[in-house]
Structure 1
Amino acid sequence: MQYDCIIVGGGFAGLQAAIQLGRYRHNVAVIDAAEGRSTMCRSYHNLIGFPIGIGGAELLALGRQQAEQLGIHFIKAVVVRAEKAEDGLLLHTADEVSFRCKRLLIATGVKDRIPSFPELIPCLGISAYICPDCDGYEVADQQTLVLGAGNAGARMALTLTHWTSDLIYINHERSPVDRELLDLLADKGIPYIEQAIQSVNAEQAQFNGIVLEDGSTLACERCFVAFGGNEVRSGFAKQLGVELMDNKHIIVDPRTKLTSVRNVWAAGDVAAHSEMVTIAMGDGSQAAIWIHKSLIATSM
């Protein structure tokens, strides 16, 4: 069976594209591993219509239900290889199943590098945050710990000074920090601690602070995580010859979201843009419009 379009990635960009393509009545499948960053956030507060927040898993479930009502097929799998075929594209999954499609949308996103403290996960989006554009407002005028590594953590602490001056940066991995950034931290009165975190104190979704390796504790009800080195999931896109930036984000046409390879689009965080839910959704819709235009052009 050959699909009109396969969307790889069932996050916000992929789901929004699927819904739009379903409304165009195309035969579409979404291949998703169900482990994207959108499954981790317990509450998004910056979305229109949800002033008290909505969890990522809940919003994804609603989106999937909406897409299924439009006839979209969902396949749980990981695409590991892609190649051009005579009549379109051929995708191969980790469990050795292959799928054919006329058009491909890559919406595989980014995987955040989060330290292995399981207590943090239930707090994400509620009392522990990753994206300052999304959630800087949530720590306004509150004491906040920045749990991070090297320059990435230092830059996060400096960024958060727009909302609060009560910050402490803990360089958990003791990674080097540029002298210029250390001077800026000092100028802003942000304490800098170069010490590993022994454990995280949290109860359900409430972050309560950390215990450092020397046994001392820092009590706090808010934190940001900034370790850098996030994984941009563009591996199989490269196999198709898709042009990538140096940081592995996929380069797309700003208007159509088409990549450098014919019949291959990309949307969401895997492309180069501000990594927010609303922008990912817009990317997905825009890509779907142009995928539809290309499909009907060949049928006329």
Structure 2
Amino acid sequence: MIFDCVIIGGGIAGLQAAIQLGRYDHKILVIDKGGGRSELCQEYHNLLGWPDGVSGEYFRTIGRKQAEQYGVEFILDEVKDVVKSPDGFQAITDSSAFCGKRMLIATGIEDRLPPIDRIKPCLGKSIFLCPDCDGYEIKNKKTVVIGSGNKGAGMAAVLTYWSKDILFINHDKTDIDDKHKHVLKKHNIPIYNEKVSDIQVVNESSLQSVQLENGKKVEVKHAFLAMSGSKVNTTLTKSLGVERLENHHINVNPRTKETNIPHVFAVGDATAHSQLLSIAMGDGAQAAIWIHKSLLSERGKHTP
């Protein structure tokens, strides 16, 4: 079977595109390996219409059901490569290959988290990743940044907009350059060059303290993570010749979301943009519109 579009990635951007394309009556396949970034956040509070918060898992669950109402098909699998084919493109998994006239890359980012199981239930509630999404949640509150060298130091400095009581735990014990040291000193941000060995929580998601490897306990109810080593999942586009930036994000036309390869589009955190759920939704809808236009144009060329 040849699909009108194969969407790789079933996160927020991919789902929004699938819903829009399904409503155009196109034949759409979403291939998702699960475990995406949006599954991590237990509560988003910066979205229109959700003043009390909403989870990423809810969006993914309800989004899939909504897409399926329009005939969108879903497969739980991991795409290992994408290649050109006579009919368009093939998304290749370990077990099969799926052909689409158009390809939409919505593979996102994998965040590196400290290997502590109790962190995940806290994400979006008392432990955060994105200052633009959740900086407001720590307004005037003591907050610790658990991070890596300059990246963590930079996050700590950014958060001083919201709170003057910021601490930085350099979990990876990575070197901090003089510029970032100066900024930390300017904002009176103490540095702990120690690994986090554990955290203490109540009610599963409310942080109470952070335990350091040296035995010190930091009493704190809010934290941000700023770990190096996050992975932008765009490697599979290399064989197509898709243009990627130095940070491995895909470069797209800002209007159409099309890459440098005709009929290959990319959306969401895999591209270079502000990493907000609301923007991912907009990306997905925008790309779907232009995928629809390109399919119509192609059909017109073959109309007698």
User: 1:234, 1:198 → 2: CA distance?
Assistant: 32
The aligned residue for residue 101 of structure 2 is 102
User: 2:209, 2:256 → 1: CA distance?
Assistant: 45
The answer to whether structure 1 residue 7 and structure 2 residue 7 are counterparts is yes
1:98 is matched by which residue type in structure 2? A
The aligned residue for residue 251 of structure 1 is 251
**Helix, strand or coil at the partner of 1:79:** coil
User: 1:202, 1:92 → 2: CA distance?
Assistant: 42
Where do 1:29-108 residues align within 5 Å? 29-94=29-94, 96-108=95-107
**Helix, strand or coil at the partner of 1:60:** helix
1:130 is matched by which residue type in structure 2? L
The aligned residue for residue 135 of structure 2 is 136
The aligned residue for residue 214 of structure 2 is 214
The aligned residue for residue 18 of structure 1 is 18
1:208 is matched by which residue type in structure 2? Q
CA deviation after TM superposition for structure 1 residue 229, in Å: 2.3
1:141-172 Cα distance to aligned partner (Å, 9 max, x none): 00001001100100000000000000100001
The aligned residue for residue 112 of structure 1 is 111
* TM-score normalised by L of structure 2: 0.97
1:182 is matched by which residue type in structure 2? K
The aligned residue for residue 263 of structure 2 is 263
User: 2:159, 2:243 → 1: CA distance?
Assistant: 33
User: 1:299, 1:216 → 2: CA distance?
Assistant: 67
User: 1:68, 1:155 → 2: CA distance?
Assistant: 42
1:240-284 Cα distance to aligned partner (Å, 9 max, x none): 110000110000000000001111000000000000000000000
The aligned residue for residue 198 of structure 1 is 197
2:5 is matched by which residue type in structure 1? C
User: 1:76, 1:189 → 2: CA distance?
Assistant: 48
CA deviation after TM superposition for structure 1 residue 199, in Å: 1.2
**Number of equivalences:** 299
CA RMSD of superposed structures (Å) = 0.7
The aligned residue for residue 229 of structure 1 is 229
The aligned residue for residue 149 of structure 2 is 150
User: 1:243, 1:48 → 2: CA distance?
Assistant: 33
User: 2:64, 2:116 → 1: CA distance?
Assistant: 30
User: 2:87, 2:9 → 1: CA distance?
Assistant: 23
The aligned residue for residue 182 of structure 1 is 181
1:45-73 Cα distance to aligned partner (Å, 9 max, x none): 00100001001101111111110101100
Identity %: 46
1:194 is matched by which residue type in structure 2? N
The aligned residue for residue 169 of structure 1 is 168
CA deviation after TM superposition for structure 1 residue 228, in Å: 2.2
CA deviation after TM superposition for structure 1 residue 200, in Å: 1.3
**Helix, strand or coil at the partner of 2:35:** coil
2:17 is matched by which residue type in structure 1? A
The aligned residue for residue 280 of structure 2 is 280
User: 2:58, 2:70 → 1: CA distance?
Assistant: 19
What runs of 5+ residues in structure 2 fail to find an aligned partner?
none
**Helix, strand or coil at the partner of 1:162:** coil
CA deviation after TM superposition for structure 1 residue 91, in Å: 1.3
User: 2:239, 2:210 → 1: CA distance?
Assistant: 43
User: 2:118, 2:13 → 1: CA distance?
Assistant: 28
User: 1:202, 1:70 → 2: CA distance?
Assistant: 42
1:14 is matched by which residue type in structure 2? G
User: 1:31, 1:277 → 2: CA distance?
Assistant: 20
Q: Which runs of 4+ in 1 moved over 2 A?
A: none
What runs of 5+ residues in structure 1 fail to find an aligned partner?
none
CA deviation after TM superposition for structure 1 residue 11, in Å: 0.5
1:96-149 Cα distance to aligned partner (Å, 9 max, x none): 211111000000000111110111110000000000000000000000010011
